[in-house]
Amino acid sequence: MTNASLVKPASIQTYASLRAAVRKAIALGKERAVRAVGKLILEHILLKKDRVEYGEAVIGRLGQDIGVSDRKLRYMVEFARTYPIRPPAANLSWAHYRDLLGIHAGDERQALVHLAAENDWIREQLRTEIKKNKAGAAVKIINRCMLLRGIRLWAAPH
């Protein structure tokens, strides 16, 4: 964690600013830990790539052994796959990125990352935008299909 990514001590005048700075520091550390764990699992699974069922088995066993749900481990692996080096926005938390993994189109996900980072969205704001994005994408797909038939049913939500 670089000093540039944290709030400067002089700016921590109130308890609220202290709490926010500590939360940010923890979130930044968690994002790095999550990516490292996902990368370790992914690299281990790739060593056994000749055994298709091995990945699911190892995630299940590891989850039991370390007390982490299979679902969380799968998110960690997906995060490491999606962001193998470093996520583009340092001010987003692991929770932000976990929600962004639900956007499968890379360009749409990157646009949301940029907007969330630029506007300093909290997780709930990002979730709202993801829902709008998915609804808009669904409408665009339906409209595209219907346009082929010469009918436009809905306008995409704004």
Residue 56 CB-half CA count within 13 A = 2
Render pLDDT for 45-71 as a digit per residue (tens, 0 to 9). Answer: 888 777 778 888 888 999 999 998 999
pLDDT at 74: 92
Under the banding of pLDDT at 50, 70 and 90, the label for residue 1 is: very low
Spatial CA neighbour of 156 closest among 122, 146, 138: 138
Task: For residue 132, give the 3-state DSSP assignment.
Answer: helix
State the helix-helix crossing angle for 54-66 and 15-47, rounded to 10 degrees. Answer: 140
Spatial CA neighbour of 27 closest among 42, 13, 7, 10: 7
Under the banding of pLDDT at 50, 70 and 90, the label for residue 107 is: confident
Spatial CA neighbour of 103 closest among 115, 112, 116: 112
CA 89, CA 106: separation in Å to the nearest integer? 15
Quote the pTM value.
0.65
For residue 109, report the phi and psi dihedrals to the nearest 5 degrees.
-65, -45
| Percent of the chain clearing pLDDT 70 (strictly above) | 73
> In the chain, where are the structural domains located?
1-86, 91-158
Tokens 């052994």 found at = 65
138-151: average pLDDT: 55
pLDDT at 139: 56
Asked if pLDDT for residue 95 goes beyond 80, the answer is: yes
For residue 87, report the phi and psi dihedrals to the nearest 5 degrees.
-60, 150
